[in-house]
Each structure stands twice: as C-alpha cells, then as structure tokens.
Structure 1
Amino acid sequence: MSSALEYWPSPPPWGWTADDLDRLPPEGPNGEPDFFKHVELIDGVLVFMSPQKRFHQRMIRGLTAVLGDLAPEQMSAVDQMDVKLGHRMRPCPDVLVVDAAAADDDERTCYTPDEVHLVVEVVSPESEDRDRKTKPARYAEAGIAHLWRVENNGGKPVVYVYELDPATRAYGLTGIHHGRLTVPVPFPIDVDLDGLPR
C-alpha cells in the first residue's frame, strides 16, 4: 500500500485513518518543521489546529494540574493526547482524565474510549463548531461518560458540564459553572475556576 502522504495535499484514495496519524512525520511534505504537531482526525478529515491563545493554554495547564491533584489513584489527568474513537475519528482533547495504567505507558500515542473518564475541550474561535457540536456527539457515541466544555467569558472561564445518558447515548447538561466548579463525578471535584494556576 502507498503512503498516505504521497497524495498530499489531497487525502489518499482510501481516506485518512486514525492509524495514519501515528505514521505522519514530524516535518511537513515540503520540510516544514512541526507541520503535523497539532493535527487531529475528525470524520476522516485532517484538522490543523491554529496556535493557542494564552487563555486556552492557561485553562489546559491549570485544569490538568488541578484534576491531576484531585484524581484518585487509579486515574490520571493528561493533556493534548488523542482519543481513537473509530477508524476515521481521532480527536485531540485539551485535557483528559484516563486510567492511570494507560497514562503510565509512555509509548502511547492515543487512548481508547473505555480508558477515558472525562474529556475537556477549551473552545477557541476557530474550533467553536467542532467543540460545541461535532466532538461532543462523537464522544457520546463512543460512550465517554463525562464532558466539560470551557468557554472564555471576558477572560474568565465558564464550564459547561455534561453527563452521558446511557439510554440515548447523548449528553445531558448537568450544570453551567462560573467562578467555582463542584461536581461529584467522575470523582469529587472542587475547583476555583478564577484561581486556576497561571
């Protein structure tokens, strides 16, 4: 089989697959450094993520640190790691809470939905539709129990908390949190949103 990159910038005839992301080189087809560093696969399409704004980076770092401190021993918080949801779906959430055994494997490039307890997406202007519509539907279909969507409201975070309804395999909104986020699942969490580590 030919390499998918031989067809660049068009997708290969068989389409991009989740496993292709493990075979992408660090540089682009024309030698561009870190060309494929921030790419995810959404419904068979490679999506290149734009540079992060400071709010986005601050939320990722702060939430990863706080969730890592609060998580029970069998879970770990990681950031910007892929979740392989299917043959043509491999998003890269901003923050994840996964099984500790999976997080301890330094050779991993992605996790499977059954290893994921919480997905956190920090919304950027360029990712609004993906983070609000496309990704939540795919996470729910894959059976991931908990999703948080973080939005920027004048420089302060607002967190929309969702829980999976197993009967419909769709998320239900369980709360909108300003200033402080306190939830009992997937483990007891109490976070001062405005005081996240910078």
Structure 2
Amino acid sequence: MLPDLPQHTQLIDASLVFPCPQSVFHSRATGFFGRGLSSSAPPELEVIQRFTIDIDPQNRPEPDVVVVRQAAVRGFEQTRVAASEVVLVIEVVSPDSASRDRETKPMKYARAKIPHFWRVENERGRPVIHAFELEPTTGTYTSVGIFRDRMKAEAPFPVDLDLTRIKTRRDTAE
C-alpha cells in the first residue's frame, strides 16, 4: 500500500476505498464476533478484526472479522494475510458500504476460494447473519442459513452464538 493513507483504507478493483464512519451496531457486532469466534476457534485458527486479505494486486479488502490458519500469522508487525490462508470472512454491513459488502466483496472472496463468508445485517436493531459456504463445483457461495437470535453452526468450526447479546443501545432495565 501507499504510505500515509488513512488506517483501514482498502484496495478494491485497483481503487482506494477509504474507511467510512462506523455505527454503534457495526462496532458492537464486529467486537461480538471477534470475541465469540476467538473463544470457539480451535488452536490452529486465529481470529483477527479488520485485517487485510491479499487477494491479488488489484484487491486487498479488509473484512470486519477474518479467521485465518494460525500458521499464517508470523508476527505483530504483519499487516495482511494471503487469501489462501483465510477460512472465514465476516462483513458487517453499513449503509455506506452496503453494495460492496453484499455484492462486490463476496464475489471476490469466492473467486479467491475463501471457504466461508458471513454477512451481518442490522434488521430494525437486531442482527441477522447470512451464512454462506463456497460451492466447489460452481466456485460461488451458497446459503447455508439465516440466523436471527442464535447462530449454531458446525463449519468452519462448531459455534453457538447468542445473537441477542449484540445490543444497539444500552438496556436501562439491566
């Protein structure tokens, strides 16, 4: 990347995509999945938030959460990982990035053969997770489920996440 760019600048189709403002939902969902997957992931996998994937010279997206093979993480100064080392990417959709998160990035992740993709949407203040798996024959993603209150999945590793714990506002009754 070029020096002196704002943090979290992405390269998509050889164009720089500057970071957009993040909502409270986006921030909380990203943290929730980072923590939840870190506690569930087997030792050979590592969960990293907002980390660059090196797909090709024209595409270096930065998913909100990425799960990589532990061997791909070589040190604290590392700034990106090869797409071949990625097991799962999660994009939390923001109004400013909706078309990229729903259309552009999934297509690029599938072409890079990343096995799993989850898209997190804010549906009237509640998270909805659209989970996809790479279909080997077509090389495209196929839906493996839509989750609202609880996400139980076996791939890429067993997870059981209480999605009601992602809050978009403080619950004053607690």
TM-score (norm 1): 0.82
After superposition, the C-alpha distances for 1:10-64 in whole angstroms (9 at most, x for unaligned) are xxxxxxxxxxx2x422xxxxxxxxx511310100010112111110000011110
Q: How far apart, CA to CA, are the structure 1 residues paired with 2:143 and 2:157?
A: 17
Query: Which secondary structure state, in structure 2, belongs to the residue aligned with residue 130 of structure 1?
Result: helix
CA contact (8 A) 1:39 1:47 kept: yes
Contact 1:119 1:147 in 2 (8 A): yes
- Structure 1 residues 50 and 91, CA gap change in structure 2 (3 angstroms): same
The answer on whether the counterparts of 2:127 and 2:166 sit within 8 Å (CA) in structure 1 is no
Q: Distance in 1 between matches of 2:19 and 2:124?
A: 22
Equivalent residue for 1:168? 138
1:197 Cα shift? 8.2
Alignment partner of 1:105 out of 53, 67, 75: 75
Distance in 2 (CA, whole Å) between partners of 1:153 and 1:24 is 38
Question: Quick check: 1:93–1:119 contact (8 Å CA) kept in 2?
Answer: yes
Q: 2 CA distance for matches of 1:149 and 1:176? A: 10
Q: 2:153 aligns with which of 183, 187, 197?
A: 183
Give 1 or 2 for the bigger CA radius of gyration. Answer: 1
Does residue 65 of structure 1 match 2:35? yes
Partner of 1:76: 46
TM (norm. structure 2) is 0.92
Separation of aligned partners in 2, 1:51 and 1:95: 17
Runs of 5+ unmatched residues, structure 1? 1-20, 26-34
Which residue pairs with 2:172 in the alignment?
none
Change (3 A) 1:117 1:197: farther
Equivalent position SS for 2:31: helix
- Percent identity of paired positions between Structure 1 and Structure 2: 41
Write the mapping of 1:14-25 to structure 2, written as runs, cut at 5 A: 21=1, 23-25=2-4
Which segment drifts farther, 72-81 or 95-104? 95-104
Query: Matches of residues 18-167 of structure 1 in structure 2 within 5 Å?
Result: 21=1, 23-25=2-4, 36-103=6-73, 105-167=75-137
| Equivalent residues of 2:119, 2:131 under 8 A apart | yes
Shift of 1:196: 4.1
8 Å Cα contact 1:62-1:197 kept in structure 2: no
Equivalent pair of 1:63/1:196 in contact (CA under 8 Å): no
Instruction: Give the distance between the partners of 1:37 and 1:149, measured in 2 at CA.
Output: 22
Report the Cα offset of residue 124 of structure 1: 0.2
Matched residues, number: 168
Specify the code of the residue in structure 2 equivalent to 1:154: R
Greater RCO structure (CA 8 Å; 6+ sep): 2
**Residues of 1 paired with 2:166 and 2:69: CA distance?**
24
Deviations 1:106-138 (A, max 9, x none): 121111111111000000001010000000000
